[in-house]
Amino acid sequence: MNLKQALPIAVVSAAIGALAGGAYVRHRDRVEPAPALAAARADAAAAPARDDASGHGGGEAGSPYPRYLALGNGAPASFEALRKRAASDPAFLQDLLQRFRNDPQPDARGELLALLQAVGGEDVLRYALSLAASTRGQDERAGLDLLGGYSLERAEVREALLAKLRAGGDAQREVELIRLLTPAAVADEDAAPVAAQLATLARDPDSEVRAEAVFQLAQWADPVQAEDALHRALLDPAAAVRSKAINAVAGSHARSERLKDALLAIAADPASAPGDRGAAALALQDFRLSRAEYALWKRAQARADAESGEGG
């Protein structure tokens, strides 16, 4: 995969990650905080009060995160104070990692995940890889969540996810793993194993696995290599696979006569879902069309505009 393909995807992924990391949830009835965490709250006690009506605060300068993050029953601590302490205090970082691993409350785990992903670094990565390799389901889930904060430019992250996919498992787990294969700008030799695994999964018996695999494959594989899987997915009997394939073609540089024919058929077919017809018509804007094909596309586009309320 080349940089031109990867960079727009990476920007979108980073924006999503920043929004997810910035979210927090107040929660009650938590156990007494560990001493290291209590000390961090003491460090942050002088932080100014929330400054808006919602109580969320505006965030510290240059930070995408809210000013306060509630972690337990005590006074809320500054997210930046917690992050900075975790980055400089190995004992405190280990305390946070253990809490993230063991805390049964989803809201607390979400807060801790946001904090640990903001800290990042080699210690968090090593811990994430060790948890992801565990045969204990809860530990594996925690490790994969942490790995989601790292780019697949890191060879160890790619290999950990690919090893999980090669080992197989239930369909929902495979879908979650595939979604973690966020495209990255890597050398062709490093992208090839990822593309090969996705090409295999694009033929999986489960339609949801096929749908996610073909979508990611279009962004990891060379457009010529992805074309066959994309064409097959556009003709797939499962509507979810066809929908993903339309979007995958639109977001890739794969172009061929048979891809164009399949998109035209979807765009012109009244039995297709309205969203699919509109998406196919949009994707066809990047194809060269004959006069007859253009007339067919024009009718499909007009119908899509009318259905979406954009028609004149």
39 domain-assigned: yes
Asked if residue 237 has pLDDT above 50, the reply is yes
State if pTM tops 0.75: no
> Total domain count for the chain?
1
- Which 3 state secondary structure label does DSSP give 304? helix
pLDDT in tens, 4-27: 454 444 433 444 343 334 433 333
43 domain-assigned: yes
Contacts of residue 118, Cβ cutoff 8 Å, sequence gap at least 6: 21, 65, 79, 83
pLDDT in tens, 134-151: 988 899 999 999 999 999
- Which 3 state secondary structure label does DSSP give 77? strand
Give the integer Cα–Cα distance in Å for 256 and 99: 52
38 domain-assigned: yes
226 domain-assigned: no
> Which is higher by pLDDT, 260 or 55?
260
82 domain-assigned: yes
pLDDT bin (cut points 50, 70, 90) of residue 171 is very high
Q: Length of the chain in residues, anyone?
A: 312
pLDDT bin (cut points 50, 70, 90) of residue 309 is low
- Which 3 state secondary structure label does DSSP give 238? coil
Contacts of residue 38, Cβ cutoff 8 Å, sequence gap at least 6: 74
88 domain-assigned: yes
pLDDT bin (cut points 50, 70, 90) of residue 59 is very low
| Residue with tokens 């339609």, as numbered in its chain | 207
What percent of the chain is predicted at pLDDT more than 70?
74
Q: What is the DSSP string of 179-215?
A: HT-------HHHHHHHHHHHHHHTT-SSHHHHHHHHH
pLDDT bin (cut points 50, 70, 90) of residue 181 is very high
114 domain-assigned: yes
Low-confidence winner among 43-57, 184-198, 217-231 (lowest mean pLDDT):
43-57
pLDDT in tens, 250-304: 999 999 999 999 999 999 998 889 999 999 999 999 999 999 999 999 988 888 8
Q: What DSSP element (H or E) covers 69?
A: strand 68-69
Give the integer Cα–Cα distance in Å for 228 and 198: 13
Asked if residue 35 has pLDDT above 60, the reply is no
Domain range enclosing 5: 1-50+57-120
pLDDT at position 77: 74
165 domain-assigned: no
pLDDT bin (cut points 50, 70, 90) of residue 249 is very high
